[in-house]
Amino acid sequence: MSQNVALSKIGLQRSGLEWFSSLPACLLLLAVVIFSTSSDIHNQMLRGGEQIWSGYYKLRMDPVAPTCNPNRDIDAAVAAELAEAPADDDPMAALLGAPEAKNPADIRLAIERALADCREAYASYESLEGQLTPGLRAYRAVELFVADLIAFGLSSQRYILVILVMLCAVTATLSRHHIAMRAMETRLDYTVSYTLQTIANAMLLGSSVIFRQSTLGAETSVSSEELLLHNFWITGFSCLTLASLYRLLRVPEDLQSGGTLNKAFLAVPLYTVMCLISGTYFALIGHASGIGIYLGKMMELSDMFLNVGLYVWVGMMLKQTRLATLVFNVFRPWRMPPEMLAVVAVLVAAIPTAYTGASGIFVIAAGAVIYSELRAAGARRQLALAATAMSGSLGVVLRPCLLVVVIAYLNREVTTDELFGWGVWVFVLTATMFTLVALAVNRQSKFDLAPSSTAFPAMIQALKPLIPYVLVITAVVLLYRFALDVTMDEFSAPRLLPVIMLAVLVYEHLSLKNAKGRTSGEFNHQGLERSLRGATNDTTAEIGALLLLLGLSVSIGGVIERSHIMQSFPQAFDSAWSAMLLMVVILVILGMIMDAFGAVILVTATVATIAYSSGIHPIHFWMVTLVAFELGYLSPPVALNHLLTRQVVGEAEVMAAQQETGTFYQRHERIIMPLIAMGLSLLVVAFVPLMFYA
């Protein structure tokens, strides 16, 4: 027993899944942060080297001694050049006629210039040699090591992504963590789900093998890096197929008997459905390698997908801290009615949503805390579920959201500054709409706020525990700003946020290590190692579920692209109003069936050009796209944000909410309220601007 306690304290007592899944995933994510940060360190090292040693850029490599003769005799060289006869066997010389006589003055001038250049080269060589002090050599060795580390990191990004996706996908399969319309409750659900998962995974494996063989059979040569990437995909899908087959044969004992086939199909993961659809389509058109090809396209944006993984990790680390609870404590003294507290929760969540990259990531990270706090404040289940699902919807238009960065990266017609600038106004609109709907429709509580004389001092008191967190975050941001010349923006956020959250976890570990409230009912702090381990355990399964879903979304996009569905629509409309109406319908449908990043790639290749040709301004179009996607994520039949809410809140709470009685709206408030708020916002964003420029 004492040995187990000792191992636990130093972080060596882990389960097999933690050793072979979450620990490698943690190391891969840390490697991504280190590789990206090393680029900033290298830039500062180059600047520092230039400031300490003038001409450091020339000193990064040992100077090479010139091979010319600095003591060359000019008169002898001129005489030798004049004595040298022209070649008689040159056919071109015969065609040009007799050669002109050599001019001694021109020859002397050329030799003198060459000698001057030679002596200058020797002087430069001797000067550089004299500057190669032991201190410079040591500094240069470190700087070149960092440069090699950056080169290795850039070249290994694709391999890290493949390993991370496959490792996490296997973990999600073994832990039953893939995203589906409903959880597995019966043996029939389990059998149908894992049977189709096994078929889909085998389809992915077969497509990857065929893609590799077709690449080898092509006329163009295949590099060793590309071949290694193919082998990684094949190995990963082989493990994924075996994992699903293992799960299929090992049925858990805690499942209920019975079940219906209709409900069982709803327990099939979304990625499986997308794989079966796209794989069947590609097989029917004689393009069996299609899924493998479109999954390979993920490698072209490997940095973006790795950033998604980092944002998930940040969200899971946020979940391990007290930050969300402490922020709710600030508003608790006002004794807000549940509807108003739901509005506050959604508005406050917009900022971390922007910093965690996408709405679904934030719902996974903080959804459980938001739901529990709203329920503790007296909110009915339907309202709490609605607010939790919407908590990640408003901040996607705010800086530094990764989704907006991807849009600007793929579309030269817009910039991040333009999109984020207009995104603020879209946020104001959506926040206003949600506030009006939450407070005006089905409000069941009175506005009986606490007196300001009582609430304000308590609120100030509740702000004090947040001050150290603000100082820690500020310290990390300032360290990057002044030490590495990196400001906190949409481009640096993916590598700064993990460091910030690690610093917060370290602060909590040190401040709560000996505190009596460490294991209080308010917060159960497990220590730095356990908190980081718990965050990574959650991250591993979530990354597997999200990135595999995202990759198959790209494949579904390929089906839509190759089936030429978009070509059946006019490629330009005479009326921007008609075009916008069609755009809204298409974008909402894409949001309902595809992940955000995959949908952006598809929209860029298809719908965007139709919108531009029809006179819709690019910034206006992408603002509409973002709002339409969020409406799609909240809309049945898929409603991804609601699925993620159920995943973090628990099936029991959702089932209990469905048992609540009342009017039709009250029984389905968790679905209807977000649809009204985001639907009205979409109509305003889509059509009001057309009045001014269409």
DSSP string, 511-553: HHSS-GGGBSSS-B---HHHHHHHHHHHHHHHHHHHHHHHHHH
What span, in angstroms and rounded, lies between the C-alpha atoms of 430 and 423? 10
Longest Cα–Cα distance in the chain = 112
Angle between helices 134-174 and 302-319 (to 10 degrees): 80
Q: pLDDT, tens digit, for every residue of 79-102? A: 888 777 565 555 655 555 555 667
Question: Given this model, what pLDDT does residue 9 score?
Answer: 47
pLDDT of residue 574 exceeding 60: yes
pLDDT of residue 487 exceeding 60: yes
What span, in angstroms and rounded, lies between the C-alpha atoms of 16 and 14? 7
Which positions ≥6 away from 290 have C-beta within 8 Å?
A: 207, 278, 279, 281, 282, 555, 558, 562
Question: Given this model, what pLDDT does residue 416 score?
Answer: 93
What span, in angstroms and rounded, lies between the C-alpha atoms of 296 and 354? 28
Counting Cα atoms < 13 Å in the Cβ hemisphere of 9 gives: 6
Question: Given this model, what pLDDT does residue 273 score?
Answer: 94
- Reported confidence tier of residue 106, pLDDT bands at 50, 70, 90: confident
- Reported confidence tier of residue 344, pLDDT bands at 50, 70, 90: very high
What span, in angstroms and rounded, lies between the C-alpha atoms of 48 and 59? 13
What span, in angstroms and rounded, lies between the C-alpha atoms of 201 and 197? 6
Closest CA relative to residue 423, chosen from 694, 692, 681, 687: 681
Please tell me whether residue 325 adopts helix, strand or coil conformation.
Answer: helix
Q: Tell me what the pLDDT averaged over the chain comes to.
A: 87
Angle between helices 651-658 and 640-649 (to 10 degrees): 110
What span, in angstroms and rounded, lies between the C-alpha atoms of 367 and 331? 18
Q: Which residue has the higher pLDDT, 471 or 321?
A: 471
What span, in angstroms and rounded, lies between the C-alpha atoms of 399 and 130? 50
For residue 485, what is the DSSP state? -
Ordered alpha helix ranges (H), 1-55:
2-9, 16-17, 23-52
586 and 577 Cβ atoms separated by less than 8 Å: no
Question: CB-based burial of residue 254 (10 Å sphere; 0-12 exposed, 13-18 middle, 19+ buried)?
Answer: exposed
Mean pLDDT to the nearest integer, 451-479: 94
What span, in angstroms and rounded, lies between the C-alpha atoms of 131 and 58? 11
Counting Cα atoms < 13 Å in the Cβ hemisphere of 119 gives: 8
Q: pLDDT, tens digit, for every residue of 224-272? A: 888 999 999 999 999 999 999 999 999 988 888 888 999 999 999 999 9
pLDDT of residue 308 exceeding 90: no
Q: Which residue has the higher pLDDT, 121 or 5?
A: 121
439 and 343 Cβ atoms separated by less than 8 Å: yes
Token code pair at residue 243: 């994992």
Written in H, E and C, the secondary structure of 635-676 is CCCCCHHHHHHHHHHCHHHHHHHHCCCCCHHHHCHHHHHHHH
What span, in angstroms and rounded, lies between the C-alpha atoms of 24 and 536? 10
Q: Which residue has the higher pLDDT, 332 or 97?
A: 332
pLDDT of residue 556 exceeding 60: yes
Written in H, E and C, the secondary structure of 385-408 is HHHHHHCCCCHHHCCCCHHHHHHH
Question: Given this model, what pLDDT does residue 4 score?
Answer: 44
Question: Given this model, what pLDDT does residue 357 score?
Answer: 67
pLDDT of residue 8 exceeding 80: no
pLDDT of residue 77 exceeding 90: no
Angle, CA 620 vertex, CA 614 and CA 622 arms, to 5°: 95
Angle, CA 454 vertex, CA 453 and CA 457 arms, to 5°: 85
Angle, CA 304 vertex, CA 674 and CA 397 arms, to 5°: 35
When computed from its CA atoms, the radius of gyration of the chain, rounded to whole angstroms, is 32
Please tell me whether residue 565 adopts helix, strand or coil conformation.
Answer: coil
For 242-269, give the DSSP string.
Answer: HHHHHHHHS--TTSBS---HHHHHHTSB
